[in-house]
Amino acid sequence: MVTLAGTGLVAQDNSYQRTLKALEQYRALAAEDDRGILPSTKKPVEPGEHYAGVPRLTRLLERIGDLPTGNRPADSDLYDRALVAAVKSFQARHGLEPDGRIGKTTLEQLNTPLDFRVRQLELALERWRRLPYDSSRPAIVLNLPEFRLRAFDRGYRPALEMKIVIGRARRLKTPLLSSKVDAVIFRPYWNVPLSIQRNELIADIKRDPSYISKNDFELVTARDAVVAQEDVSDKLLMQLRSGKLRLRQRPGPKNALGLVKFEFPNEYNVYMHDTPAKSLFGRARRDFSHGCIRLERAEDLAEWVLREEYGWPRDRIVAAMQGTESITLKLTHPVPVMTVYVTAVVQESGKVHFFEDIYGEDAALEKEIAEAAAEAGITSDEPGRRPRE
């Protein structure tokens, strides 16, 4: 595989070494695979049902480690308990709901050639190699297709991990960036972006004139002066649509940013924040935001970020989040933060998790590498392309 120039300190990055080892394993698995295809069914295959694909399913799951060897079903086409457990393991490793049912999406993942997984691991290696990460400093790393945040102490020692919600695929992507968290805001105001105000909230207000008061919004001028109103007149709606007036949500439990916000300078005006919409963290795929990053356990991240800030232990953090006023805390020790895009993640145990290329970044990197190879006069079969649906 052709690699491109980068700045990542791979010698200090355990993720790179684990990925390299997994790549060797998956190349061997791909070479041994019989490349069989599991048959589709009109309805999802349920536990306890008979399924013609059981022999191939058993061989595949044994080969990739989800099914212990020697667990072949006595009934050659019965989707039995051992296979169900193995499919749940496979689903969990591939970013799917681990329900044990073989539906369309699970079947697509099961039928994805192992050569394609090899390619994902190759691209993951390239991304880790490029990562501008200095392990001598603590850092926050957010892997977008994995929907996961990890915080590392000095020496790349794992300190914290949690689920995240990111920007919607296609239209509202969370950007790839590198910055530093330089401020933590407890009980933040939410200054509604004009695009959300025009495209979403004005319609809500027109349907329900009490929407503003119900959701703790206020109308403000460009200088943040609050406009008093008994109801939202057509004139005020026109001013909201034009941007002369803006919507701002007051701090509190209804606030879309939750009870704490983490700011870091960037050209995209994105940030990390708490959220009252906790149910979304129960989903396997979590691209639901307008681009900012919602945190599963924002108070835990606040405690980690502020651990070197004198006078901010957890009890004070909780008190600030549950208080009555908005507090902005500028950090004396800004914390590096970066969003990355790795669709093949190798855990410390060696277990490999694969994720969908939801933003098309892997496809873009593969094209970039192919063009670099062509310029260098190197030919490649570009293994691992997923078959057309």
R_g of the chain computed on alpha carbons: 24
**Closest of 292, 265, 261, 288 to residue 274, by C-alpha:** 261
Alpha carbons 10 and 21: distance in angstroms, whole number: 14
Annotated catalytic residue: which of 50, 292, 333, 353? Answer: 292
Q: Buried (b) or exposed (e) across 294-320, using 16+ Cβ within 10 A?
A: bbbbbbbbbbbbbeeeeebeeeebeeb
Give 169's contacts (C-beta < 8 A, 6+ positions apart).
Answer: 287, 358, 359
Q: What is the largest CA-CA distance in the chain?
A: 74
353 annotated active-site: no
Which of helix, strand or coil describes residue 151?
strand
Annotated catalytic residue: which of 94, 273, 290, 333? Answer: 273
Q: Provide the 8-state DSSP code for 44.
A: P
Alpha carbons 353 and 360: distance in angstroms, whole number: 18
Quickly tell me which residue has 């916000």 as its tokens.
Answer: 261
Q: Are 383 and 118 in contact (CB under 8 A)?
A: yes
Segment 78-81 long-range contacts (CB within 8 Å, at least 24 positions apart): 78/48, 78/49, 78/50, 78/51, 78/54, 79/45, 79/46, 79/47, 79/48, 79/49, 79/50, 79/51, 79/54, 80/47, 80/48, 81/47
| Sheet strands side by side (includes 246-249) | 190-191, 246-249, 217-220, 226-227
Antiparallel, parallel or unpaired: β 344-346 and 260-263: unpaired
Give 316's contacts (C-beta < 8 A, 6+ positions apart).
Answer: none
CA angle 222, 224, 227 (to 5 degrees): 95
Q: Buried (b) or exposed (e) across 179-208, using 16+ Cβ within 10 A?
A: bbbbebbbbbbbebbeeebeeebbeebeee
292 annotated active-site: yes
Alpha carbons 32 and 35: distance in angstroms, whole number: 9
Residues that are catalytic: 273, 292
